[in-house]
Structure 1
């Protein structure tokens, strides 16, 4: 068993970044616009803008890139991703296929993708985490993060607040002997996840407003949550029925919704199904400017009705989602 580690995190202004080698840049026009003035010295040999988070798309991009790398016209030495989510996951896949070093520059703390060794691919209406690679280097400019659009700036807090419902699922599954041996409840890990959750709740108002100390604490919470799961070899402390809701509802809404817009309603709805109080969680979500009502109510209800069949069909770890409607 190989336990992944976190990537080196460099908290520096972008204009201090030095990169003399020609690079492949994975980004979008909007993401690049937010950093272009500070990264004018980058030698961009090739640029890729991914369209979707699917294995066929990533495999096509990788095959095309490998062909270009055989051509001396493209002397690429490094891969850079500028942005979040799809951009980071795509860059990790390309780096894993080309064996080129990867530097990630998140433009918001919108998720934890820049900290992990997997990429989230959509397949058959669900999300599959594909082993790719941990970035070799992550550049975090907290001043840049503070200027991100409000709904994205600290949206990654959802990846920590999800522990509120995921831990409940994990403990319930243990009580009902539904956890496989490799996912058996570890009380010390549950306690650690609760402490990280509290850290995220504490920093939510400051992070949401772009305060550097608040953003740094949210970054710490994201990193510690990821490494806790790395140590365990699974994501039970932070992924349960709230994530299943997000995976399922994505099939019923238009493309373009952020992960937080799908996950935040899942946390609140699932917490209520678990008879948990949601006021503190809702306050933190609102403090981070995460939209809570972008999914139409009829779609939310439809997704909750379908969730038991959905989780069974995709073989997802046991949680309250399996018992909705019982």
Structure 2
């Protein structure tokens, strides 16, 4: 009987706990990633430098590079520096921008990448995608999935709380992205990858239902693992489809029109809640709204400093940010006046829910 199975690129090592960074040399050796510590350590302007000092005694052969900005230029510049000598792997330590620069440079050099996440702002920590800015516009680039993902809860705790809360918005937006994928199957016959969908859904459901908060290790562990599952879901199907629908189209549009408005995860959360409202899914709308509210995440355009008119403009632009995607936004194809009306209804439903 023939056995048909898929080959999925996935991290060899996943470690979510306190004290993981101090064990980095042992993790690299035990995982047969680097026996002698000949690695390029890439740090950002935040906690990265502090972590580099912590691991230096056990990784004496490592070279440390500092990157800033999360741009394609920074990634290309780092790629050039990685040619200086032979490295076993690239170790990216920091938040999303640093990790994405390291992922892109490592992929271009054909080197394995190890993610050491100091914040849980979005699902980029374990995804095969790097979001990098070029000419002021953020683009998505396909990269190799990290060979190891390490999340040290000590460093997550020391990072800006708002960054970690944002990751909740990004994970929960999977619920909306999956509903959009299901809609595309129903209307356009687009195939849905069941394994990718289940990986994306499980993490989102776990975060949605967890009673804990960002100050609670048990909750933060679930959040970290949900973000990793989300990255794996993308690797399984080869696209960002299981984690990116109308929610992310709105986020990309806001980024393009009004740069610096809010973080990826915060905007994905608002986009997911609005799209869920547009789909008329009242149960999910109530669940996602309650989750975002419980974790002090924005739900209305005004919460991120946008006027209703600016949000309407973003919703109008949103479908063009991912022309190949079919989501509730493409399905409804709302005019500006229709979008305005639905936004007013959305605000009313939220106030009713809050009341």
Same fold, TM-score > 0.5, yes or no: yes
Indicate yes or no: 2:179 matched with 1:168: yes
User: Do 2:67 and 2:74's aligned partners in 1 also have CA atoms closer than 8 Å?
Assistant: no
Which residue number corresponds to residue 76 of structure 2?
Answer: 59
Distance 1:191 1:29 in 2: 36
Query: How many aligned residue pairs are there?
Result: 310
Q: What's the TM-score, normalizing by structure 2?
A: 0.75
Residues 1:206 and 1:61: Cα distance change in structure 2 (over 3 Å)? same
Cα displacement (A) at 1:123: 5.9
Distance 1:321 1:302 in 2: 13
Moved more, 10-19 or 315-324: 10-19
Gaps of at least 5 residues in structure 1 are 70-74
Q: What is the correspondence of 1:92-131 to structure 2 with a 5 Å cutoff?
A: 92-122=103-133, 128-131=139-142
Residues 1:149 and 1:92: Cα distance change in structure 2 (over 3 Å)? same
Which residue number corresponds to residue 287 of structure 1?
Answer: 294
Residues 1:269 and 1:123: Cα distance change in structure 2 (over 3 Å)? farther
User: Do 1:196 and 1:225's aligned partners in 2 also have CA atoms closer than 8 Å?
Assistant: yes
User: Do 1:151 and 1:291's aligned partners in 2 also have CA atoms closer than 8 Å?
Assistant: no
Residues 1:231 and 1:8: Cα distance change in structure 2 (over 3 Å)? same
Question: Which one of the candidate residues 11, 19, 26 is aligned to 2:42?
Answer: 26
Secondary structure at the counterpart of residue 26 of structure 1 = strand
Q: What is the correspondence of 1:1-326 to structure 2 with a 5 Å cutoff?
A: 3-12=8-17, 13=19, 14-18=21-25, 21=37, 23-32=39-48, 35=51, 38-39=54-55, 41=57, 42-43=59-60, 45-54=63-72, 56-66=73-83, 68-69=84-85, 77-122=88-133, 128-177=139-188, 179=190, 184-185=191-192, 190=197, 193-203=200-210, 205-209=211-215, 211-255=216-260, 257-277=262-282, 278-292=285-299, 293-297=303-307, 298-308=309-319, 310-311=320-321, 314-322=322-330, 323-325=332-334
> Which of 1 and 2 has higher RCO (CA within 8 Å, sep 6+)?
1
User: Do 2:122 and 2:167's aligned partners in 1 also have CA atoms closer than 8 Å?
Assistant: yes
Moved more, 116-125 or 264-273: 116-125
Distance 1:3 1:237 in 2: 16
User: Do 1:153 and 1:208's aligned partners in 2 also have CA atoms closer than 8 Å?
Assistant: yes
Q: What's the TM-score, normalizing by structure 1?
A: 0.81
Distance 1:266 1:189 in 2: 21
Distance 1:136 1:291 in 2: 34
For the aligned residue pairs, the C-alpha RMSD in angstroms reads 3.0
User: Do 1:147 and 1:153's aligned partners in 2 also have CA atoms closer than 8 Å?
Assistant: no
